[in-house]
Amino acid sequence: MRHLLSIADLEREDIERILDRAAAFEQIADREVKKVPALRGRTVLNLFYEASTRTRSSFELAAKRLSADVVNFAASGSSVEKGESLKDTVLTLGAHSPDAIVIRSPHAGAAALVAGWTSASVINAGDGKHEHPTQALLDVHTLRSKLGALDGRSIWIVGDIAHSRVARSNILAFREMGAHVTLVGPPTLMPRDIEALGCAVRYDLDDLREADVVYALRVQRERMDGKELPSLREYAARYQINGRRLHPRQVLMHPGPVNRGVELSGEVVDSPQAVITMQVRAGVVVRMAVLFELLAGTRTDSPARLREPQPA
C-alpha cells in the first residue's frame, strides 16, 4: 500500500492486517516509555486546511510513538493565507522530502490530488464531506475489540448523513467487514440515492432496537445553510439518542466532538454503552498501524519519486 485515500481502496484482508497491527501496538501505549524506533528518521508532514484537534494530535502522537519526525503545517498563519495554491504548497513542502503527508482539506478529492504531486505516501485525514478513512478504521478497531467480528451485525448510523465524511467511510468499512448498515436521519440531511452504497435508509428511530451498534453523528451546524432543519429542538425530539431510546445491550459510538443535548443526551455520553473514549484511544494505535503499513521497509516502487529532487 502506498497511500490511504479511501476505504474503497481496501480489501477486508487489508483492514484486518492493519487492525491486527494496531492491536499489537496497543501494548506500547501501556508502557512507561511509549515509543518504538520503527520509523526512526522518517518525516511525517501534517497538512491541515481545516481546524482539527483530535485527528491532528492523534496523527502527531502516532508518528512520534514510532519515532518519526513530525512537521505540522496549518493553513492559517502560513503561505496559504498569502494565496498559495494547494499544488504549490505541496511542491514546496515536498522539497523537505517528507515520507508521509497527512492531509485534511475542506474539499472532496484533495488527498487524491496531493498524491499525484508528491512522492510521499499520502494519508487522507478528511477531504470535505467525502471520506475520513482512518476514522473508519479506528471505529472498526473499536468494534472488533468490543464485539469481535462484525459479520452479520446491524449498525445504525444516525444523524446528519449529508455533511458527514465519517458516515461515507464507515458505510464502506462496516460493509467490507460484513455488517449491515442502516442510515437514519432527517430527509433533508439524507443524500439522494445513498442507498447505492449498499445500505438501508430510514427517517425514524422506531425500530432502533434492531441495531447492535448505534453510531451517532455530530449535527454539523457550521456546514449547514440553516434551512435543513426546522430547529435543533425538533431534531433532538426525533433523532437524539437518549436513555429512553438506547438499549443496554447496544454499543454507542460518536466521532466527536459531541453536542450534548442535540444528537446525544448527556446520560448516554456517560453511559457504559458509550465507547467514545475507546474510539479516541484507538485513533492513536490505528494511525500508528497505518503509518507503519505505508512507511515501514524500503520503498522502491515509486515512479513519482523520480520527479523529486534527488539527494546528492
Partner 1 sequence: MSDATLTRAPARPATLLVRGAHVVDPVERIDALHDVLVRDGEIAAIGAAGDLRPDGAEVVDGGGRHLLPAFVDPHVHLRTPGQEHKEDIETGTRAAAAGGFCAVLAMPNTTPVVDTAPVLGALLDQAARDARVPVGFLGCITRGMGGQDLTEMAELADVGAVGFTDDGKPVADAGVMRRALQYQRLAGRVLALHEEDPTLSANGAMHEGAVSARLGVAGIPSVSESVLVARDCQLAGYEGGRIHLQHLSCVASVEAVAAAKAAGVQVTCEASPHHLTLTDEDVAELDTRLKMNPPLRTAADRTALVDGLRDGTIDCVATDHAPHARDEKEVAFEQAPMGTTGLETAFAALHTELVVGGLLELGVLVDRMCAGGVPFGVAQPRIAVGQPANLTLVDLGRRWTVGENGYESRSENCCFAGRELQGRVLLTVAAGAVAYRERSFALTAA
Site residues (vs partner 1, CB under 8 A): 186-188, 190, 203-204, 226-231, 233-234, 237-238
Minimum distance between the CB of residue 161 and partner 1, rounded to whole angstroms? 13
CA atoms of 192 and 218, how far apart (whole Å) = 20
CB of 206 to partner 1, least distance (A): 12
Question: Cβ of residue 73: shortest distance to partner 1, in angstroms?
Answer: 37
User: Residue 139 and residue 18: Cα distance in Å, rounded?
Assistant: 13
Pairing of strands 180-184, 121-127: unpaired
Start-to-end CA span in the chain (Å): 28
Beta carbon nearer to partner 1, 162 or 213: 162
Do the Cβ atoms of 141 and 286 come closer than 8 Å?
A: yes
91 vs 232, beta carbon nearer partner 1: 232
> Residues 201, 144, 186, CA angle at the centre, nearest 5°?
20
Between the CA of residue 238 and those of 166, 241, 245, 252, 255, what are the distances in Å?
Answer: 21, 9, 11, 17, 20
Residue 225's contacts (CB-CB under 8 Å, 6 or more residues apart) are none
Q: Please say which residue, 186 or 283, places its beta carbon nearer to partner 1.
A: 186
User: Among residues 82 and 192, whose Cβ is nearest to partner 1?
Assistant: 192
Neighbours of 60 (CB within 10 A): 19
| Least gap, CB of 246 to partner 1 (angstroms) | 21
**Nearest-approach distance from CB 232 to partner 1, in angstroms:** 11
Cβ proximity to partner 1, 204 vs 267, nearer residue? 204
